[in-house]
Amino acid sequence: MVTGRKRHPRRNDLKKAGDTAAIKVLVVEDDPDLGETLCEILTMSGYRASHAVDGVAALEMLRDGDLPDLILLDMMLPRLDGWGFREAQLRDKTLKGIPVVVLSAVGEIVKPINADHILRKPVTSETLLATIERFHRRRPD
Amino acid sequence: MKAHLKPSVRLELEELRRRLQEAEETLDAIRSGEVDALVVSGSAGEKVFTLEGAEHPYRVLVESMNEGAISLSTDGIILYCNSAFARMVGSPLDQIMGRDVCEFVPAEERDALNRLIRNASHEALRAEMTLLAAPGASLPTQFSLSPISLEEGPSIGAIVTDLSERKRNEQAEAAVKMRDDFLATASHELRNPLSALVLRLGLLERHAAKGDLAQIQPSVRRAQDQTERIGRLVDRLLDVSQLASGKLKLDLAPCDLGEVVNEVAERFSEQASNSGSELRLTLSGGIIARGDKFRLDEAVSNVLSNAIKYGAGHPIDVQLKTNEERAILVVQDRGIGIPAEDLARIFGRFERTTISRNYGGLGLGLYIASEIVGQHGGSIRAESRSHGGARFVIELPLSANSEARRKD
* Residue B246 in this model has a pLDDT that exceeds 80: no
Residues near B206 by beta carbon (within 8 Å), at least 6 away in sequence: A44, A125
Given this model, what pLDDT does residue A48 score?
94
* Residue B50 in this model has a pLDDT that exceeds 60: no
Compute the nearest-CA separation of A67 from chain B (Å).
Answer: 23
Q: Between β-strands B326-332 and B288-291, what pairing exists: parallel, antiparallel or unpaired? A: unpaired
Least confident of A20-24, A100-104, B111-115, B340-344: B340-344
Considering chain B, what percentage of its residues have pLDDT values greater than 90? 28
A-B CB pairs within 8 A amount to: 82
Three-state SS across chain A? CCCECCCCCCCHHHCCCCCCCCCEEEEECCCHHHHHHHHHHHHHCCCEEEEECCHHHHHHHHHCCCCCCEEEECCCCCCCCHHHHHHHHHHCCCCCCCCEEEEECCCCCCCCCCECEEEECCCCHHHHHHHHHHHCCCCCC
Query: From CA B306, how far away is CA B302, in angstroms rounded?
Result: 6
Helix axes B164-210 and A32-44, enclosed angle (nearest 10): 30
Residue B271 or residue A50, greater confidence: A50
Contact status, residue B307 vs residue B335, Cβ threshold 8 Å: yes
Q: Render pLDDT for B99-148 as a digit per residue (tens, 0 to 9).
A: 899 999 999 999 999 999 999 888 889 999 999 987 778 889 999 999 98
Residue of A nearest to B355 (CA): A78
Query: From CA B235, how far away is CA A18, in angstroms rounded?
Result: 53
Given this model, what pLDDT does residue B358 score?
36
DSSP letter assigned to residue B144:
E
Q: Render pLDDT for A78-118 as a digit per residue (tens, 0 to 9).
A: 788 899 999 999 999 999 999 999 998 767 777 888 899 99
* Residue A57 in this model has a pLDDT that exceeds 50: yes
Given this model, what pLDDT does residue A71 score?
97
- From residue B384, alpha-carbon distances to B64, B335, B352 in Å are 62, 10, 18
ipTM above 0.85, yes or no: no
Least confident of A18-27, A119-128, B343-352: B343-352
Provide the mean pLDDT of chain B: 82
Query: From CA B356, how far away is CA B349, in angstroms rounded?
Result: 12
**Chain B: which residues have CB within 8 Å of chain A?**
184, 187-188, 191-200, 202-203, 206, 222, 225-226, 229, 352, 354-355, 357-360
> Under an 8 A CB cutoff, do A105 and B191 touch?
yes
DSSP B278-298: -EEEEE-S--EEEE-HHHHHH
Given this model, what pLDDT does residue B408 score?
35
Given this model, what pLDDT does residue B402 score?
36
* Residue B28 in this model has a pLDDT that exceeds 70: yes
Residues near B2 by beta carbon (within 8 Å), at least 6 away in sequence: B10
Residue B137 or residue B54, greater confidence: B137
Query: From CA B108, how far away is CA A90, in angstroms rounded?
Result: 62
Query: From CA B167, how far away is CA B184, in angstroms rounded?
Result: 25
Look at phi and psi of residue A106 and say left if phi exceeds 0, alpha if psi is from -120 to 50, else beta: beta
What are residue B159's DSSP bridge partners?
A: B69, B144
The number of residues in chain A equals 141
Query: From CA B320, how far away is CA B261, in angstroms rounded?
Result: 8
Residue type at B3? A
* Residue B21 in this model has a pLDDT that exceeds 90: no
| Average confidence (pLDDT) over A55-71 | 92
DSSP letter assigned to residue B100:
B
Q: Render pLDDT for B359-377 as a digit per residue (tens, 0 to 9).
A: 334 467 888 898 899 989 9
Confidence grade of residue B7 (pLDDT, cut at 50, 70, 90):
confident
Given this model, what pLDDT does residue A1 score?
47
Set of chain A residues whose Cβ sits within 8 Å of the Cβ of B359: 30, 32
Compute the nearest-CA separation of B354 from chain A (Å).
Answer: 5
Determine which of A25, A27, A30 to mutate to test the interface with B (most B C-beta atoms within 10 Å): A30
Residues near A111 by beta carbon (within 8 Å), at least 6 away in sequence: A1, A83
Residue type at B263? E
| Average confidence (pLDDT) over B49-59 | 64
Confidence grade of residue B354 (pLDDT, cut at 50, 70, 90):
very low
* Residue B350 in this model has a pLDDT that exceeds 80: no
